[in-house]
């Protein structure tokens, strides 16, 4: 997919193959679902934020401002 930033909704079959449901340039991490079954999604936030900042050539933390905090 020739985009710098995009999101995908996908699943894995029992055989390990990827089943793509959706891919587009307007995916969003927010809001996080409070349902415990989706708690694993929070683990992608920090790496995605770091990759986005790196892509833009920004420092890890913008001029003394802490990284965005997730709401529980």
- Show me where the domains of the chain are located: 7-63
The neighbour count for residue 48, using CB atoms within 10 Å, is 13
Which pLDDT score is estimated for 51? 85
Residue 31 CA to residue 17 CA, distance in Å, equals 28
pTM of the predicted protein model: 0.42
Interacting residues of 5 by C-beta distance below 8 A, sequence separation 6+? 25, 52, 55
**72 residues of the chain, pLDDT tens digit each:** 677 667 788 899 999 999 999 888 876 666 777 888 888 878 877 888 888 888 888 887 655 455 555 454
Burial pattern 20-34, b for ≥16 Cβ within 10 A else e, equals: eeeeeeeeeeeeeee
């Amino acid at each position: 997919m020739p985009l710098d930033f995009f999101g995908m909704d996908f699943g894995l079959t029992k055989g390990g193959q990827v089943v793509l449901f959706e891919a587009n340039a307007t995916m969003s991490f927010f809001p996080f679902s409070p349902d415990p079954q989706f708690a694993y999604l929070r683990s992608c936030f920090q790496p995605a934020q770091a990759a986005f900042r790196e892509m833009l050539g920004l420092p890890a933390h913008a001029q003394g401002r802490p990284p965005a905090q997730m709401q529980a």
